Amino acid sequence: MRTLVVGAGATGGFYGGRIAQLGRDVTFLVRPARAEALRRNGLQIISPLGDATLQPQLITGDELRAKPQPFDLIILAIKAYSLTQAIEDLAPAVGPGTTILPVLNGILHLDLLDARFGAERVIGGTCRINSDLDREGRILQLSTLGDFTFGERSGEMTPRIERIKQEIETPLFKSIASTDVLAAMWHKWYVLAALNILCLLPQGTMGEMAAVPEGLSFANTAILECIAIATANGYPPPQAIVDTDRKRLTQPGSDLTSSMYRDTKKNAPVEADHILGDLLTRGDAHNISAPLLRATYVQLKVYENRRSQN
């Protein structure tokens, strides 16, 4: 199986790198500057499960357009604000038998990919990993969490899902072939939205938020807002999962933060519309009141406007 990983950042670089460590045929579709850095320094993963440095196969969008070639599997692991350009870049890699596996947050991207490539080529996917890029471009896995979930949106366990499972199976992350991948995507979405509310409004870590008066009440309210929207859209998270999520998001002394919070500290682009705005829209469609989610979205849009003026 020929696999193209679109993006070699904190998510794509980690999963693609770990799959490449298996000796699989993995190529990274990256921007020219990232390609130059990876050729110079290699793809470096720093992880509690073991560090690695690889010399990956690389291709840029211009190179792929100049020499179109089909891949069997395309793992799309970029930020939502890069999606439009990524679709144009990866298009020459899509052939009759190509499967596209996006692991973006939320679900808005599925509509865009379906419209361009056909719903039959696009499966569902999500991941749970706490990772970042450092100033040297190294991929930092900040905990042992690394679940990678994928599956047919119809819920069928098809031969192509079984082939993908076999291709990417590794002890270095947990791969889950799901028969309810949309529920997994909604679960990740509600947790991520809540995490962003809890970081961005108080401007701190989970531990800092939980340690102040009214912190836990604030956290529970934010979590319930996001659960209400997921439930109204037909994807209520099981209570056992909610209990685990709530414990993780209110852990005393935790240094957990969201990647979007960390992006604001770097004055980097953020996924305000894809993660918070679209969730808010889907809540409004069911008359769900979500004032904390709305306040966080407004804060991020102010941040985006201010950033665009600098």
Quick one: average pLDDT of 211-228?
97
Q: Give residue 168's pLDDT.
A: 95
- Report which DSSP code applies to 91: G
Q: Give residue 72's pLDDT.
A: 98
Q: What is the DSSP string of 205-231?
A: -HHHHHHSTTHHHHHHHHHHHHHHHHH
- Ordered domains of the chain (ranges, CATH): 2-179 (3.40.50.720), 184-309 (1.10.1040.10)
Of 67, 188, 247, 266, the active-site residue reads 188
Dihedrals phi, psi of 117, to nearest 5 degrees: -115, -10
Say whether 57 sits in a helix, a strand or coil.
Answer: strand
Q: Give residue 169's pLDDT.
A: 94
Residue type at position 267:
N
Dist. CA 71–CA 3, nearest whole Å:
6
Are 88 and 112 spatial neighbours (Cβ–Cβ below 8 Å)?
Answer: no
pLDDT tens per residue across span 144-168: 889 999 999 999 999 999 999 999 9
Q: Give residue 41's pLDDT.
A: 96
Percent of the chain past pLDDT 70, that is, above it, reads 100
Residues 6+ apart with CB under 8 A from 280: 290, 293, 294, 297
The two three-digit tokens of residue 184, written as one number: 């997994």
Given a cut of 90, whether residue 19 has pLDDT beyond it is yes
Please choose, from the candidates 121, 139, 165, 167, the residue with its C-alpha nearest in 3D space to the C-alpha of residue 3: 167
The two three-digit tokens of residue 229, written as one number: 């929207």
Is 165 among the catalytic positions?
no
